């Protein structure tokens, strides 16, 4: 099932909950390194945006700088979603500082290098169904 997100609307709460409670998450980008898919660990949903903390993503960052679009897939068991959207990358500014403070409090053994901010545009349910 495809859900198109109006940028003015919030990300539906059931999808935000699914992102936050997912056992597994992967981010796909494309750019000068070609297609790149990486596991993702620290994710937040803030004001309808998806924040992905960058601790060590080199190819992912370079791809986003060249082609600022990505797809995030999150799943738990057989239930999950794919979220496609535009991406902004921040290494400074208010949003980055908020993310940095959150990381310092919740994941103190990590050093935040940057923040991927996904503006969701489309979501797809990736769960198997009888149809």
- Could you tell me which of 69, 80, 58 has the C-alpha nearest to residue 28? 69
**Angle made by CA atoms 48, 71, 47, in degrees to the nearest 5:** 10
What does pLDDT average to over the chain? Answer: 91
**What pLDDT is stored for residue 111 in this prediction?**
95
Q: Counting beta carbons within 10 angstroms of the beta carbon of residue 72, is it exposed (0 to 12), middle (13 to 18) or buried (19 or more)?
A: buried
**Angle made by CA atoms 72, 120, 96, in degrees to the nearest 5:** 85
- Which structure tokens are listed for 98? 């908020």
Type and span of the H or E element at 48: none
At 116, which CATH number? 2.30.110.10
Q: How confident is the model at residue 8 (pLDDT cuts 50, 70, 90)?
A: very low
Asked if residue 58 belongs to a domain, the reply is yes
For 80-129, the pLDDT digits (tens) are 999 999 999 999 999 999 999 999 999 999 999 999 999 999 999 998 87
Question: Which of 11-15, 21-25, 82-86, 102-106 comes out lowest in average pLDDT?
Answer: 11-15
Measure the CA–CA gap between 77 and 90, rounded to whole angstroms. Answer: 32
Measure the CA–CA gap between 3 and 77, rounded to whole angstroms. Answer: 21
Asked if residue 131 belongs to a domain, the reply is no
- Which residues lie below 8 Å from residue 36, measured CB to CB, with a gap of 6+? 28, 29, 30, 59, 60, 63
Using the predicted structure, report yes or no on whether residue 65 has a pLDDT greater than 70.
yes
- 114-125 and 2-4 as β-strands: parallel, antiparallel, unpaired? antiparallel
CA dihedral 32, 75, 46, 105 (to 10 degrees): -90
Asked if residue 130 belongs to a domain, the reply is no
Query: Between 32 and 64, whose confidence is greater?
Result: 64
Indicate the number of domains in the chain: 1
Asked if residue 16 belongs to a domain, the reply is yes
Asked if residue 38 belongs to a domain, the reply is yes
Which residue range is the domain that position 45 belongs to?
Answer: 2-125
Asked if residue 101 belongs to a domain, the reply is yes
């Amino acid at each position: 099932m495809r859900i198109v997100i109006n940028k003015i609307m919030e990300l539906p709460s059931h999808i935000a909950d699914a992102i936050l409670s997912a056992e597994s998450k992967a981010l796909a980008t494309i750019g000068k390194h070609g297609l790149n898919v990486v596991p993702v660990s620290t994710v937040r949903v803030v004001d309808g945006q998806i924040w992905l903390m960058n601790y060590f993503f080199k190819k992912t960052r370079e791809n986003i700088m060249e082609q600022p679009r990505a797809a995030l897939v999150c799943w738990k068991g057989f239930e999950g979603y794919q979220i496609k959207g535009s991406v902004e990358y921040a290494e400074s500014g208010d949003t980055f500082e908020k993310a940095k403070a959150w990381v310092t409090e919740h994941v103190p053994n990590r050093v935040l290098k940057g923040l991927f901010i996904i503006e969701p545009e489309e979501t797809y349910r990736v769960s198997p169904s009888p149809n």
